[in-house]
A and B are shown apart, each in its own frame.
Chain A
Amino acid sequence: MRVSIKKILNKDEEQVIIECTQVTPDIRDIEAYVMGKGTELSGITEEQHRKQFHLQDVYYFEALDEKVFAYTKEQVYEIKMRLYEVEKAYSNYHFVRCSKSVVLNLMLLDSISPAMSGRFFAHMKNGEKLMISRQYANQVKKIVMGGGKDE
Chain B
Amino acid sequence: MNRQSKLSEMMMAFFVSTACITILEGTMGMLFFPDEKLTYHAFFAPPIMGLCSVLFGFVTWSKRELTIKETLLRRGIHLLLIECLVFGLNYVEGIIFPFKVAISLILGIAVVFVAVYVVLWVNDSRSAKRFNKKLREYQKKVI
Contacts and interface: CB of A to CB of B under 8 A. Distances in A.
20 contacts: A106-B139, A107-B142, A109-B135, A111-B135, A112-B131, A113-B125, A114-B124, A114-B125, A115-B68, A117-B66, A118-B9, A118-B124, A134-B1, A135-B1, A137-B1, A138-B2, A138-B5, A144-B134, A145-B131, A150-B127
A144 B138 contact: yes
Given A138-B1, A138-B2, A113 B139 contact: no
Interface size class of B (residues with CB under 8 A): 20 to 34
A120 B124 contact: yes
B71 interface: yes
Contacts, number: 64
A99 B125 contact: no
B4 interface: yes
Nearest to A134: B1
Q: Is the interface of A mostly helix, strand, loop or mixed?
A: mixed
A118 B135 contact: no
Q: Is the interface of B mostly helix, strand, loop or mixed?
A: helix
Contacts of B35: none
B130 interface: yes
A100 to B, nearest CB: 7
Contacts of A9: none
Contacts of A8: none
B135 A106 contact: yes
Residue of A116, A119, A151 with most chain B CB atoms under a 10 A cut-off: A116
A114 B142 contact: no
A109 to B, nearest CB: 6
